[in-house]
């Protein structure tokens, strides 16, 4: 698990062989005020065309991919992966929990799965 980096309060990612592995826990109030959702999976940016990526990063206030590259330099691809993942969040297999602690325990299990 040590090769994951924390990218948001409850989000972690790592890149292995060009593929991003991303997990997060999120309180989604518009679904159910008392629920936390947790999950994640794999993201290959090669599966997305330039127009798709440009659209996804614009959802987070960037002026396109060139803006992300300018702001983040060598880390631009990681930022793009986060943006795409968060826009595609509902497409991943998610589990629902009553508490943040339960959701984070599940995320930890997912991240440690290959280490056991």
List the chain residues with pLDDT less than 50.
1, 116
Asked if 41 contacts 29 with a C-beta cutoff of 8 angstroms, the reply is no
Q: Which two tokens stand for residue 52?
A: 């798709």
Q: How many domains, the chain?
A: 1
Helix (H, G, I), strand (E, B) or coil at 107: helix
Is 40 part of a structural domain of the chain? yes
- Count of positions (residues) in the chain: 116
Q: Which domain holds residue 85?
A: 6-112
pLDDT in tens, 72-102: 999 999 999 999 999 888 788 889 998 999 9
Is 1 part of a structural domain of the chain? no
Q: What's the CA gap between 111 and 11, in Å, rounded?
A: 11
């Amino acid at each position: 698990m040590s090769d994951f980096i924390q990218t948001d309060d409850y989000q972690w990612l790592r890149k292995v062989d060009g593929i991003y592995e991303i997990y997060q826990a999120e309180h989604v109030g518009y679904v159910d005020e008392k629920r936390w959702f947790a999950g994640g999976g794999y993201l290959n940016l090669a599966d997305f065309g330039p127009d798709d990526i440009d659209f996804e990063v614009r959802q987070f206030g960037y002026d396109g991919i060139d803006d992300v590259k300018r702001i983040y330099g060598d880390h631009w691809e990681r930022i793009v992966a986060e943006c795409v993942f968060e826009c595609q969040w509902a497409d991943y297999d998610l589990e629902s929990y009553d508490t943040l602690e339960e959701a984070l325990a599940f995320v930890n299990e997912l991240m440690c799965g290959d280490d056991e």
